[in-house]
Amino acid sequence: MNEIVEDAENPEANAKKIMYINRRAPYGTIYALEALEVVLIGAMFEQDVSVVFMDDGIFQLKKNQDTLALDVKNFSPAFRALETYEVEKLYVEKESMQARGLSCEDLLVPVLELSSIEIAELMEQQDVLLNF
């Protein structure tokens, strides 16, 4: 029987590698906002958090979002809080960015742009993948 041994002196040794994958546009469903909230909760519990934005999820990070016509609150500035919670592993899929005519300069926060192959390799290194 395998025992789970926790290292109370080194909480980082117990941290799970959790990757949050954001694929949906920021508005029209609750997925994007809920993903952001779950990321912040994971970070509060000192997990090894990384976040990937791909497909229309890229738009969650776009600067100058105007939600007035949608009559919903623009929550995109909350992504700037990720750094405060030490969530620094933010990735965007290069192919998704190109398909939507965006560059890293169009985004609210610093990200690392990776190819779909590099993202797949990164996903293999995680303990948990959560898709939003």
Structure tokens at 64: 């100058």
| Tens digit of each residue's pLDDT (9 = 90 or more) over 16-52 | 899 999 999 998 888 999 999 999 888 888 889 999 9
Condensed to tens digits (0 to 9), the pLDDT of residues 49-78 reads: 999 999 999 999 999 888 777 877 888 888
The answer to whether residues 52 and 59 touch, using CB atoms and an 8 Å cutoff, is no
- Domains defined along the chain, listed by start: 15-131 (3.40.1260.10)
* Residue 89, strand partner residues: 50
The string of pLDDT tens digits covering residues 85-122 is: 889 999 999 999 999 999 999 999 999 999 999 999 99
Question: Per DSSP, what are the bridge partners of residue 94?
Answer: none
Q: What is the largest CA-CA distance in the chain?
A: 58
**Cβ atoms of 116 and 95 closer than 8 Å:** yes
In this prediction the pTM is 0.85
